Chain A
Amino acid sequence: MNHHAIAAIYRFEMARTFRTLVQSIVAPVISTSLYFVVFGSAIGARMTEIDGVSYGAFIVPGLVMLSILTESISNASFGIYMPKWSGTIYEVLSAPVTPLEIVLGYVGAAATKSVLIGAIILATAGFFVPLQVAHPVVMVAFLVLTSVTFSLFGFILGVWADGFEQLQIVPLLVVTPLAFLGGSFYSIHMLPEPWRTITLFNPVVYLISGFRWSFYGVSDVGVATSLLMTLGFLVACAAVVGWIFRTGYRLKA
């Protein structure tokens, strides 16, 4: 292992994060707080409990997941797209590093940032609603697994994208709808058929469901299924990244 290289990429990416601390951290915290004010306090006061959990508390895991998904994707995609766009990627491509080391550096940094943001949002949520975490280990596992998986997805997006529009449009057109329709704000049991069955094809359902289970011990789908689906998506993304490096897709002429 060229651990110096992993550390160099990781540090470089973390420095980028801290250089843009305001956008990176303050922005997601503010937008999440807004959700709490609107959905948790204003609307939530008129909502009944879902699965025995107050509505304000019910939406916390979904909101954290929503932020983690968007942050992981945008961070990791920018992280690899920027050097590709500016040309500085020549250095990484000509360095004695394996694809695994490159991915550990870039994806590791993006995932770290997502986990940090997730933690900050959880802490923020604690100001608005009473929080309880029934299964902390599972909670952290989902947090990390999701951050890594979607950072990998973002990495693929960054390698694939030819322009800044594509970089923005995929999260906007694909990920945000999936997250909203994946049960961030409701239990999928509340949906009528056939929507309930259709929803089960949305991978984000499993993330949110499993994550919510780690808080309140209730879930839309079994937690083992959630974990397996998340792992499956991780493996799929890892396979695509492996293929990218094997073929030099959009990285090498």
Chain B
Amino acid sequence: MDPIIRISQLSKTYASGLHALNSVSLDIRRGEIFALLGPNGAGKTTLIGITCGLVRPTSGTVLAGGHDVVRDYRAARRLIGLVPQELTTDAFETVTATVTFSRGLFGKPRDPARIERVLRQLSLWDKRNDKIMTLSGGMKRRVMIAKALAHEPQILFLDEPSAGVDVELRRDMWDMVRALREEGVTIILTTHYIEEAEEMADRVGVINHGELVLVEDKHALMRKLGRKQLTLELPERLEHLPDALAGSGLELSGGGAELVYVFAPGDEREQITGLLRRLDAAGVAFRNLHTQQSSLEDIFVDLVRGDRAREGAGVGER
């Protein structure tokens, strides 16, 4: 299937001379949730801005639903809904008026039933006649989401949807995003909360200094980079690894108080059973055992700090 968004060698140099994006190429698949991660100033908002028509690309192309976002912007933008990073709303408008405005702006005829559905979905129905300036920050963010959804977009950009949002609203938002995906909407979100990407995304892209460092299926990424390790706490310190355990993959650590095993790809249960059998044979007992898996956050920090860090870095302490 054709990607719904195809970004090819996209570069952006701002008037200040700053290179915000450096030849980024990326395909977004139809119907997926894609999380774009990266530190402050990495270029996430710039990438979204170019796709939505707020920023002019310096070079490269973006196709949305096969339409060039510059040359054929009308067709491209019809497909896209945007919730920008900054909270910007019309203070004096009512919730219903501003959401109705958005729908019209994107070329759709009035449809009060649709607006009602969106407002109810976002728990804004009770506030529909309130002026936006009387709403709390979290409510305003919901209004912005409602505006983006008013014209039934096929692609939704959420630029840091959970910034300044409490746990409950974040949960609501995640539920909403999942529901949208069920309807076939493609969602691209940026976030600084790694657990958000970990919980929500199908695929993850990491951007740093305007370069796309990595794009990977989330589970594959976890499998590939997220090392899982088994730690056995010993009742007494060992001077050195017993000869019987040589070549088993077990290593002595913690000053001889622990044995550590890094799982190889494949069946973990089998590996554990094998290990336990060899420990038994070698007459090594243990007090306790636990496993740890590195999170996306560990992976992310490693990537951003540079590849050199990965060699030395152990598994995270989460």
Closest to B46 in A: A253
In the bound assembly, the distance between CA atoms of A248 and B181 in angstroms comes to 34
Q: Which B residues are CB-close (under 8 A) to A8? A: 100-105
A 1-37 binary contact with B (CB < 8 Å = 1; else 0): 0101101110110011001000000000000000000
Q: With contacts A15-B97, A88-B88, A253-B55 known, is A96 near B147, CB below 8 A?
A: no
Q: With contacts A93-B53, A252-B55 known, is A87 near B86, CB below 8 A?
A: yes
Does B73 make an interface contact (CB < 8 A)? yes
Does A97 make an interface contact (CB < 8 A)? yes
Does B193 make an interface contact (CB < 8 A)? no
Binding stretch for chain A, among B75-83, B232-240, B250-258: B75-83
Q: Which B residues are CB-close (under 8 A) to A94? A: 52-54, 77, 80, 82
Q: Which B residues are CB-close (under 8 A) to A98? A: 74
CB distance from B32 to the nearest CB of A (A): 21
Does B168 make an interface contact (CB < 8 A)? no
Instruction: Give the interface size class of chain B.
Output: 35 or more
Q: Which A residues are CB-close (under 8 A) to B82? A: 90-91, 94
Closest to A85 in B: B88
B53, B80, B90: the one within 8 Å of A88 (CB): B90
Q: Which A residues are CB-close (under 8 A) to B1? A: none
CB distance from B264 to the nearest CB of A (A): 48
Residues of chain B having any CB pair with chain A under 8 Å: 14-15, 49, 52-56, 73-78, 80, 82, 84, 86, 88-93, 97, 100-109, 147
Q: Which B residues are CB-close (under 8 A) to A253? A: 14-15, 49, 54-56
Which residue among B80, B90, B100 has the maximum number of chain A CB atoms within 10 Å of its CB? B90
Q: Are B105 and A92 in contact (CB under 8 A)?
A: yes
Closest to B86 in A: A87
Q: Are A4 and B97 in contact (CB under 8 A)?
A: no
CB distance from B129 to the nearest CB of A (A): 14
Q: Which A residues are CB-close (under 8 A) to B75? A: 96
In the bound assembly, the distance between CA atoms of A15 and B93 in angstroms comes to 9
Q: With contacts A88-B90, A252-B55 known, is A96 near B78, CB below 8 A?
A: yes
Q: Which A residues are CB-close (under 8 A) to B73? A: 96
Residues of chain A having any CB pair with chain B under 8 Å: 2, 4-5, 7-9, 11-12, 15-16, 19, 83, 86-88, 90-98, 248, 252-253
Closest to A2 in B: B107
A16, A86, A91, A248: the one within 8 Å of B105 (CB): A91
In the bound assembly, the distance between CA atoms of A176 and B90 in angstroms comes to 31
18 of the cross-chain contacts (CB-CB < 8 Å) are A4-B105, A4-B109, A8-B102, A12-B101, A15-B93, A16-B92, A19-B92, A87-B84, A90-B82, A90-B88, A91-B105, A94-B52, A94-B53, A96-B77, A96-B106, A96-B107, A98-B74, A253-B54
Q: Which A residues are CB-close (under 8 A) to B97? A: 12, 15
Closest to A253 in B: B55
Q: Are A95 and B88 in contact (CB under 8 A)?
A: no
A11, A12, A90, A97: the one within 8 Å of B54 (CB): A90
CB distance from A187 to the nearest CB of B (A): 44
CB distance from A103 to the nearest CB of B (A): 14
In the bound assembly, the distance between CA atoms of A90 and B194 in angstroms comes to 27
Closest to A102 in B: B105
Q: Which B residues are CB-close (under 8 A) to A96? A: 73-78, 106-107
In the bound assembly, the distance between CA atoms of A8 and B110 in angstroms comes to 10
Closest to B88 in A: A87
CB distance from A92 to the nearest CB of B (A): 7
Closest to A95 in B: B105
In the bound assembly, the distance between CA atoms of A156 and B74 in angstroms comes to 24
Closest to B77 in A: A96
